[in-house]
Amino acid sequence: MKFYSTKGQVEPVSFQDAIFKGLPDDNGLFMPEVIPVLPSTFFESIDDLTLPEIGFQVLRNFVDGEIPDEDLSSLINETLSFDIPLTKIKERHYSLELFHGPTLAFKDVGARFLARSLSYFTRQAHKKLTVLVATSGDTGSAVANGFHNVPDIDVIILYPSGKVSHFQEQQMTTLGGNITALEVDGTFDDCQRLVKKAFLDPELKDALHLTSANSINVARLLPQSVYYFYAWAQLPKDQRDDVIFSIPSGNYGNLSAGLLAQRMGLPIRHFLACSNVNDTVPKYLWDGDYIPKPSKATISNAMDVGDPSNFVRMLDFFDQSHDKMTSSVTGFAYTDDETRKTINKVYEETGYILDPHGAVGYKGMASYLSDKTATGIVLETAHPVKFKDTVEGEIPVTVELPTHITATDLEKKSIPFSKEFADFKQFLLD
């Protein structure tokens, strides 16, 4: 399997080269040259497969022998070592709970797969890597956990000061070791800009082996397609033919992974791209104009992205066509006030507790299904405890920390940092 750049100005590369490079030299994003359609036998037997077994059947098509099957199976078993249950909220309304991993967020899946894939290849190549990652919240904690103490890999996390939750900040700034957190005086978009410029800087490319752990890295994207298959497999059989997925969206890697699953043969009827007031993509879906803008801080902070990187992948899936995209994807955008009211309403009506991101996705799903008989699945991307103050402000109960998570009051070890690229470049070279 080869991976091409969405800009098409460089030669396709192997899976290994794609995940090491992170970004192609032409500043596009890597995409698989071929998207295999899984055989009917896979879907006929899916009820008998575990989550790791589904992951193996999906991902081995893209790894294409670069990691031997035995090693790949072990790697995927380590990645998907926690459950991803589908929980019924009410009739034909489901939540896919992606928060049962070590950092209580969906990004655990992609970060763990990327960390283990890079570790496998670095052992083979005897090289040292520096991983750069920009985060609006959950990516940083997932990457920090997934890469902590991985040999020969240093991780530098950039996050916007004052714009992540305390819980998220604790998860990404207290580990130390090979994890360095830079607290940037700016927005997520500033953090993402610094990372992208670093990959394109000739001096840095000569001095360091850089790669990315953001969803711009194709090894973050690919494993996220797995839980769409797993969600479908957990549905009652009589509800599998008419399924829509509602995706709380920031950088749009999760939605891109769903589009990948659909093209592999998963019978998904429609996608909902649900955002907060950072509504660049929903507005494109509404009127055909893509106008990036500075991100705005919200209570669903992991979605505070004004110029989402993975939008180019979405365009690639649909041959750059607005009409083709809108036939498969509908956009919604909601304010913080609407998000808060949804948390309260869903709890009062069903007893289910949504986090702010899931609430955005649920409201879009409820709106879309108000005049349809389809089955809806909202991706609940983070545990409500990560946004404890916000959630408890809307419901009359305490949100408890899951039993497999230990609260930490370890010392914060972040480095205050400017948003100037010259400063970041010098930091990397020193």
- Which residues have a Cβ under 8 Å from the Cβ of 415 and sit 6 or more positions away? 180, 181, 182, 183
**Which residues partner with 179 through β-bridges?**
155
Pick the catalytic residue from 21, 107, 196, 386: 107
CA distance 169 to 163: 9
- Give strand ranges (E) for 28-164: 30-32, 86-90, 93-97, 129-134, 153-160
Helices (H), 152-252: 166-173, 188-200, 202-207, 218-224, 226-234
E strands, 304-359, are 329-333
Question: Within its chain, how far is the Cα of 82 from the centroid?
Answer: 17
Q: 356 with 344: CB under 8 angstroms?
A: no
Q: How far apart are CA 351 and CA 313, in angstroms?
A: 37
Length, in residues, of the chain: 430
Respond yes or no: is residue 412 known to be catalytic.
no
CA–CA separation, 160 and 135 (whole Å) = 8
Nearest alpha carbon to residue 387 among 334, 345, 333, 339: 339
Sign of torsion over alpha carbons 290, 294, 300, 303: positive
Q: Which residues pair with 31 in a beta bridge?
A: 4
409 vs 403: CA distance, rounded Å: 17
Enumerate the active-site residues. Answer: 107
